[in-house]
Amino acid sequence: MGYPLSLTGVQLDALREVGNIGAGNAATALSQMLNMRVEMSVPEVQMLPISRVAATVGGADTYVAGIYLQITGSAPGSILFLLPLADARRLVRALLKENLRDDSICFGELGCSALVELGNIMTGSFLNALGMFTSLKYIPTVPSLCLDMVGAILGSVLHSHGVDSDTVFFIKTDFRYQGDCGVGYLFFLPEAEALVEILNSLGVFK
Amino acid sequence: MNNCINVEIAEMKIARAPINLISIGIGSCVGVCLYDPVARLGGLAHILLPDSRQSRNPENKAKFADTAIPALLADMVAAGAIKSRIVAKIAGGAQMFAFAQALDYMRIGERNVEAAIEALRKAGIPLIARDTGSNYGRSIRFSTLTGKVYIKTIAHGEKVI
């Protein structure tokens, strides 16, 4: 199934609200985990060619940590939490009070599991809020971590969205903490049939 | 780089020496490089998926291994390459995320590589080098002057095939 060709203003507002509620819950969870104030951007609702998604997070060769899980159930899709390397390092330091070298490209077993847990909590809180708001059941897989180029990560995440369409729909929210430290980007990527289900559940699918 | 053409995900391009072809951040995708060493003409397809028959909208030939390879070959022949001289190299097909449940659609990298090899065999193009599999991303620069493919990774070094 392809994505709806164009979304109305009302539908876009509804989807932005979906992002807002999910990301708000995720920001609260992260704030409790870090014991710091966490801020989030207004969620961006976008439909982009698959090849242009990497540009929204700094380009295909940007080195990032990606925590990815798939959603099954009546509204299938993916959630991807992407952290630029410097931000991931800062967060692992804050969580573990451990000294990571600035040029370190490896987080060790403990650092990696801290990142997975962080992703787990962010994505879990996002989906919980979404489930309540849309009355749909989202069944997540166990999250998995990958440290690599953002292009390589996105290609692997987006292949299932790319089967019937060259474009992908996503809601992206940026998180920051302690004033100006970046945390990362949370992508919610409902597949085409899930987008229809979500719009339906909100009563804005014609 | 001025003398490079960037081939994005689900795209294919051809170039004549001294213009090189690059693809940045290939994960489970596969970069298929076709080369005519006499015409010094190269073609690069950055394929995302193995099989166009599983799509309800298979119009973008560059996206699928089974359609990208014949289409890229036809573009090269139209630009002056001779089919009997063309050779292939492939890179990519990694499994970026390790999941506990290894379902079929999660083996996408491996399936992309298998489909590319099969499409090359069907087209009668010899596969002379490959750097595929494992669990890390690759960026490639395909020199149309020499036919060499330079592979860069973040934590797994560099390689020339």
Reported as a single tens digit per residue, the pLDDT across A57-87 is 888 889 999 999 988 888 889 999 999 888 8
| Rounded Cα distance, B152 and B150, in Å | 7
- A59 in Cβ contact with A150 (< 8 Å): yes
* Residue numbers of the domain that contains A37: 9-202
Chain A residues with CB under 8 Å of B56 CB are 1-2, 163-164
pTM score of the predicted model: 0.89
Structurally, chain B folds into a number of domains equal to: 1
Distance of CA B107 to the CA centre of its chain: 18
Position A1 in a domain: no
Closest-CA distance of chain A to residue B90, Å: 16
| Rounded Cα distance, B8 and A50, in Å | 9
* Residue numbers of the domain that contains B30: 4-160
SS (H, E, C) chain B: CCCEEECCCCCEEEEECCCEEEEEEECCCEEEEEEECCCCEEEEEEECECCHHHCCCCCCHHHEHHHHHHHHHHHHHHCCCCHHHCEEEEEECCCCCCCCCCCHHHHHHHHHHHHHHHHHHHHCCCEEEEEECCCCCEEEEECCCCCCEEEECCCCCEEEC
pLDDT at A101: 64
- B54 in Cβ contact with B111 (< 8 Å): no
pLDDT tens for chain A, 206 residues long, are 566 667 888 888 888 888 888 888 888 988 888 888 888 888 889 888 888 898 888 888 899 999 999 888 888 899 999 998 888 888 888 888 766 665 666 777 888 888 898 888 888 888 888 888 888 888 888 888 999 999 999 988 988 888 888 888 899 998 888 777 788 899 999 988 888 888 888 888 77
Chain B residues with CB under 8 Å of A63 CB are 154
CB contact under 8 A, A144 and B97: yes
Annotated active-site residue B33? The verdict is no
The domain that holds B98 is classified in CATH as 3.30.1330.200
Reported as a single tens digit per residue, the pLDDT across B40-91 is 999 999 999 999 998 888 889 999 999 999 999 999 999 999 999 999 999 9
Residue A162, Cβ density class (10 Å: 0-12 exposed, 13-18 middle, ≥19 buried)? buried
Phi, psi of A58 (to 5 degrees): 100, 0
| Rounded Cα distance, B72 and B64, in Å | 11
- Amino acid identity at B111: R
pLDDT at A102: 59
Position A2 in a domain: no
Q: Which residues contact residue A190 at a Cβ distance below 8 angstroms, ignoring those fewer than 6 apart? A: A75, A76, A77, A169, A197, A198
Residue B10 pLDDT exceeds 80: yes
- Left if phi > 0, otherwise alpha if psi is -120 to 50, otherwise beta: which for B40? left
| Rounded Cα distance, A143 and B1, in Å | 37
The domain that holds A89 is classified in CATH as 3.40.1550.10
The active-site residue, picked from B14, B15, B29, B49, is: B29
pLDDT at A110: 84
Residue B48: which of A146, A149, A159 has the nearest Cβ?
A159
> Which chain A residue is nearest to residue B138, measuring alpha carbons?
A152
Residue B29 pLDDT exceeds 80: yes
One DSSP character per residue, A51-90 reads GGTGGGGT-TT-EEEEEEEEEEESS-EEEEEEEEHHHHHH
Q: Which residues contact residue A171 at a Cβ distance below 8 angstroms, ignoring those fewer than 6 apart? A: A15, A16, A18, A19, A22, A43, A44, A45, A46, A187, A188
CB contact under 8 A, A54 and B109: no
pLDDT at B79: 95
Task: Please report, in angstroms and rounded to a whole number, the separation of the first and last CA atoms in chain A.
Answer: 17
pLDDT at A72: 87
Structurally, chain A folds into a number of domains equal to: 1
Structure tokens at A16: 């932005």
ipTM summary value: 0.90
| Rounded Cα distance, B139 and A62, in Å | 12
Helix (H, G, I), strand (E, B) or coil at A29: helix
| Rounded Cα distance, B8 and A19, in Å | 28
Position A3 in a domain: no
Under DSSP, the state recorded for A103 is: T
Reported as a single tens digit per residue, the pLDDT across B90-133 is 999 999 988 655 565 668 899 999 999 999 999 999 999 999 99
CB contact under 8 A, A166 and B10: yes
